Structure 1
Amino acid sequence: MLNLLFILAECGSSVTGTQGILLSPNYPANYSNNHECIYSIQTQPGKGIQLSARTFQLQDGDVLKVYDGSNNSARLLGSFSSSGLLGTILNSTSSSLWLEFITNAQNTSKGFVLQFSSFELIKCEDPGVPQFGYKVDDEGQFAGSTVSFSCDPGYSLRGNRVLTCMTGERRAWDQSLPSCIAECGGFIKGELSGRILSPGYPSPYGHNLNCTWTIEADPGCTIGLHFIVFHTEEVHDVLKIWDGTLESKILLKEISGSSLPKDIHSTFNSVTLQFGTDFFTSKQGFALQFSVSTATSCNDPGVPQNGSRSRDSREAGDSITFQCDPGYLLQGEAKITCVQIENRFFWQPDPPTCIAPCGGNLTGPVGVILSPQYPDPYPHGKECDWKVTVSPDYVIALTFMNFNLEPGYDFLHIYDGPDSLSPLIDSFFGSELPNRIESSSNSLFLAFRSDASVSNGGFVIDYTENPRESCFDPGTIKNGTRVGSDLKLGSTVTYYCESGYEVEGTSTLTCIMGEDGKPVWNNLRPSCIAPCGGQYTGLEGVVLSPNYPQNYSSGQNCTYSIVVPKDYETVVFGQFAFFHTALNDIVEVHDGPNQHSRLLSSLSGSHTGESLPLASSNQILIIFWAKGQVTARGFHFVYQAVPRTSATQCSSVPEPRYGRRIGNDFAVGAVIRFKCMPGYVLQGSSTVECLTVPGALAQWNSSIPNCIVPCGGNLTERKGTILSPGYPEPYLNSLNCIWKITVPEGAGIQVGIFFFSDEEKVHSLRLYHWGGAGLVWFGFFSDLSLPGLGHSVAERGFLSLWSNISSSLFLYFSVLSSVGLSSCPEPSVPSNGLKVGDRYLVNDVVSFHCEPGYSLQGHSHISCMPGTVRRWNFPPPLCIAQCGGTLEEMEGVILSPGFPGNYPSNMDCTWRISLPVGFGAHIQFLNFSTEPNHDYIEILNGPYETSRMIGRFSGDEMPAGLLSTSHRTSVYFHSDHSENKHGFKLEYQGEKVLN
């Protein structure tokens, strides 16, 4: 169906429709002179206009101009005169056409009849939507239409916000699609809410960034920050949030890592965010939402993690009190108050936090022990000690709630007592939950050690004080033994004294319930004493001077009666295993029951090892007089019943001192063997035989051997004992004894020192093992303390004893046993350091050194520990470029803190170089890069802040060398709160300074 035609015969008109006809003025009559007629044709959006002439007759000089648009600034489709438009079809590229008909003052003609109709136009391609953006308006993407864009919160639009679909034969947009970028910094003012993103979010942020955002609200308002995402490189890439401008210097929070921070609120009407990154690892970054609110009270201070608070009121003048959960320690003040200054509300002081501390003294009846920073993983390289003490007469029960330590490298040691010298209950690692532990007293000591590598979840341990259900361990007694180890109610322990000693007190103790309702022993622990006199019987025995082995008291008179059985015509044989009295103190031995009997011997002074003549009967009497004021150790007398000699019976054979006799048959043909105590060797024949002698009494074929301590020797047994020469007597002067110990291949040697005395500290005991490069020294002792255990990690070891003067006493006793040689794991080498040592067997020591300029943090020497699990006694150390220090060497290196990484913010470091008088420091820079003007280094010609400055440097230009003329030089470095760079490395050399 044909639409309505618009027939116009006027000078110009505006026509809207899908088709129609335009007529020149006065048509079909001639048009007039001097016309300027404008025709505008408009059709539906998305359609074009097709124009053709049914009639077209113009005089020369008269013209019709057709424009492809809504005005004459659009593209000109053509200028037509005479009959030029006939047979031509014009197509617009938009929904508009603009026609201008101009006539002159001369002849006219019939004019024109123009026909137009609409048709479907070709659109511009969909421009798309920028990533992190959206379309605000889209007019259809036809020629002449526009599309406008905006960005998601937190992104900035780069490029043109509005795109126009161009007219013309080719459909295209006049500009490229804009992009939405997360910028590095910005200034936001007057916005009630919005978002801030790390640069490039959600892609990882870049390296070496220093971005600052400032959010400013109206006066009387505050700004809240809510984190949606947060993940940066811990410690190295940091977001700092300041309350107000940087000039306020009020740091609200410094954040890094992967934990999502809690909401943060300003107290001023502005907040500043600074984000700095280093040159290394990049993470996803952060996204946070900000919102503005009117300040009418203090911000909610929140509840500290692992804590609680009382009261919620936040009006000016109100206070809130905080508490920490069990096991955590409050950092800061427990009570804070809301303060108002003009339109600003803030807490004074800042709200506290709750941390899991590294060690401490715990004294309550119940409590919790947490690994440091729990529930976060514990830090690297920690040494934390806890001492738990409860009420007397109570014990401590430990219950493990959580436990996860790196196996083989991180340990929790628990000792049954107040310190690490107490008995070790056990050492724990791994993820298996330990069983309940109960102390034997009212104290426990816990030692936690972590290395420099992996950190796990840590531990939670509940402790409680419990009433004892058993008696305390009564212990052992000197010169005696104890039988019985059960300490529960109703149990008994019995004490027995060694030969020669008597029990003083009750020998058997019973654990009973005391009047206070707690388990106690029914009697005090007895003691073993050497009595002054007494009656002695039996086939053999021991008699001791009073208080032996300590000195006897003066003014004593002791009588000892010894009677052996009369069977087999026995008599008494005696020997002094030890004898040393003061010169005026006498021991008499009588051959009979009283002091009127024949005198066998009268001794005073030193007579150790001396044997008595055989008694003529089965009893003797010993009388000891201690007359003088000076006393001594006394005597140790050994007796036994022996048969009388005959032609078929040899005399009884005594046991050699420090040895044993094997065999009690003294008849003709009998063979007696001898064996020495550990550490002693036989001197003489190891056997004797009883032989007949014609016409005389039977005799032994050899003399009785002695047991002596050799000066050195070769030992190959798996276990053994080494004694100092002459032990237990003082050794001789000018000794140099070497013992060589060899055990089977694959085993090591464990050395325990049980008695060691050197009053003058001029003698020494040295221990060596056979290392890869020959003998390796691993022990040196020269004092009165017990050295404890030493471990050789080779199958060959050496002990060397050296002495020089006679005025000192040196005694020691050692036990050797083979131990396994599985190795410790290879320790890591610290950055900027080096490791010395490539053997990791038991007791091997590895040492660490730092490169010049770095300080060693930790232990420079670590040792592979013995035990069921091979581990180092300490984690490998770190090498740190520290802030400041004193240098006294003639040459050295100074590094900015954290070098070669970026130095930290807000540092003030001073290094003092101290050289001999007459020398100055020649300083040469090897690296230099600081934030220009704000971060700088100063060289002072002296030790004081007021000393003359000889150089101040900042920026990236390498400073020239300079010379300090003072023997004391100061190097001062300052960094502010903003941009951080690599810092500096300088060398100094001491040089002679001419006067």
Structure 2
Amino acid sequence: MPRLQFLAGILCAAVLLAAGQTPVTPPAESPAADCGGNYTDSFGELLSPQWPQDYGNNASCVYRIIAQPGHSLSLSVNTFSTADIGDTLTVYDGANASSPVIGSYSGHMLGAGDVINSTGSQLYLSFSSDAVNGTGGFNITYRDSFHCEEVTIPLCQTLNYTSAIFPNNLNQNQVDAGLEISQYSPLVQLQCYRYLRQFLCYMYAPPCEGGESARLPCRRLCEAAKSGCGPLMERFGFQWPGNLDCSYLPSENSQTCLGHELLSAPVPSGHSTAEPVSAQPTPVAACPDPGSPDYGSRVGGDFGPGSTVQFSCDDGYTLHGNSSLTCADGSWDGPLPTCRAECGGSITNASTGVLLSPGYPDRYAGNLSCTWFLSAPDGMLLRLLFNNFSLEDGKDFLYVYDENRPGDQPERSLTGTTIPASWLSWTHNITLQLVTNTDTGMGGFSLLYESIPETFCRDPGPILNGVSTSIKVLYSAGQSVSYRCDAGYQLIGNATLTCLQGRQRIWDAAPPVCYAPCGGNLTSANGTIASPTPDPDNAVGRDCYWRVHVDDSFRVMVKFNSFELREIDAYLAIFDGGDLGAAPLANFSSTAPASADVYSTDSQVLVLFHHGPTNSYGNFSLTYIEAQKKHCPDPGTVENGRRYGDDFSIRSSVNYTCDDAYDLEGRETIICKPGNPPMWDYPKPRCVLVKECVDPGIPENGQRDSNDTSVGASVSYSCQQGYTLVGETTLTCRSRPGFRPRWDHQSPVCEEVPIQLCHDPAFLHYGTYTPKTHHYFVGSVVTFSCNSGYVLKGNKTLVCLLGDSRGAKPRWNNAYPTCEKAQVKTSSARSGSNAALGVSLFVVLALLGVGGVVAYKWRRKILELLQKSKTTNIPPSFDNPMYEVPANNTDDGPSIEQSAEA
């Protein structure tokens, strides 16, 4: 059963005690898990959509929790389980999604008992799920921070304490606690238990004793109250409230629970610790159940002849019809009344209540002009707390007026769907007016009003470009609020305000103003320069100069916190010195905003800000600090080397070299770069002893057998086929004390070997020649022969000779022979031919001897040239089988054996 409905039933039950009628318990309502919402209570639950069922797919929910200004909030996790990917709850430390993110949670990242705290008075939570696997959910409890307040609940103002701690033990603020405890007033008046008032106040408005939380009442005090008042409640169909369960309260102990002294006090004469009130039930009814009006309730369950039932409306609704019906002759003497939210009204002696838009919670109508007048007793003020608010934005308005405020303008003009913040009047009379256009309305509004004693000063509010120590809404006489300005601003007025004594509490002065000056001389080690406060008398524009001078052993660094110039002619310039004659360091404008830090070379800078006649030039904020020395540290020298340069100022450079036997490892030149402090762009190099020779290289068309260039190592070279090595075959790296190691010889080269060839012999008709090959080198011999029946005409053997002159191609020593058909001759002719044959053989043998000697000499020259390269892969290829070159010949030249053909 909702709390207020239960308490209303208790009130009605007590009223009907004298009539002996029995109330009927209204049916309990099941809470629904909404998708997000605005939460202004000091305690509550945040539930995932459709809780405790799965939250489903494509959810998008926003939860906004608003505590009293100056308070903080705490989230306590009861259950948390979502999909690991795609479904996320994000918590922001502020009023919207632009606030800092405390954390984003999914899966099982949060467990029962985990706590999340805010730094301010608002939290913003966003929950979203994707299109798949929307299972699980969360249940999170939120609560306001504990603080002390002056007791304003009438039932508790007669006790021996004047301030209470809230949220209370039931996690309620004082407004909610006052609403709930007031429903117990009839039971207190009936004195069903003599200390019921104390027990209830200890629960709902516990005394503020200086701790961070309230003590609970003693268990025996609760049990005594339940024993005395529980039977009375049960007679009227109600059970002892679950939030007053005695079993959760501490045992009797003066240090841990409240009311210990009451339990040990003597009982006055004529009283008992528990005095239940009895009532007799009504006989069985004869009329049908009349029902209950919407947004109202019925008291009475006896429907017999002559019985009467009572009707009442929920707060904010007005009863239309008879407030009671009597059963006569089996029927009720009138129709069931209705409860309506009225369009306007007048409430005098207002203490606590509810105002609703017409027809709430249904949509309000168009063309409305509803006015509510509220008047509290003298010495009281009225506070409005909004629970729901939904008006057509910009078309329908709720205006709030304060009687004694000057002018006809409303204090507040409310529209849209954002729940307004609470509002406190300046006097005890206020007026609310709802004005709607011709369109059909929206959901309307629900607000709670309450009267508060005018015995305090209200929060004077924040100041522009400054902060205050205000942590409360209301201040008692003598309490103070202090202010200070942001960096770069000067405070004009009183830095501290004090709440004065008197019938109407007021502050002793108006809040101060934070003013940013146009220029100044700044000599502190660090400080802030803010854009100057606009001058309303500025008609031509102005220039503002700030001269910054830090200790002479330092330089100045300027860092921008924010920069946004909107005026096209406005600019900010920084000079590298104390006047306009110094070199400019930077110039910023609306088209060239500030980005990087700026450093001076000396201990002074001049900051110039220029703007035109408009005062909407934008804003900027910069911080200056003392920077480190104006030059880089001495980089030092190198061992076994030299440094050139002794200027270490910013952007200067120094060079390094090494002695002959050493190599430089690192940068030869390093530069001093600006910074805080200035630093060299690279570390100092070092000189390393050289322990190897320079790479000797590899000759073109050649190769080497090793890459080892260390001292003592050797490398050997060879050439590719067709090339011969010129130079030393092997080089060795030799050390030289005081100098770099060096190879003992120069690197060799590979030169091409010239190859001399004669043309292939011409095709021999009716004959052949040997050998047949594609390569006929100088010195090669070719032998010709004819087919049977043919005779050879010409030289049978040809030798390939060098050309006659330099550059001439090789040639054969004679013309190619031919084969002709043989002729038959007589014997005399044969004898003559035999003589001729003898002469021919002599000539041929002579020619063969001469040709062989010539061929031998040219072939020897070629072999000597080829044997200069021991590793060449081109052998002295003589394909003619008539010649061989012995491998082990040691004479002056190779011997050639000629095999004569028979």
Q: Considering the TM-score relative to the shorter chain, is it more than 0.5?
A: no
| Structure with greater helix share of residues | 2
Using the size of structure 1 for normalisation, the TM-score is 0.26
Bigger Cα Rg: 2
| Structure with greater strand share of residues | 1
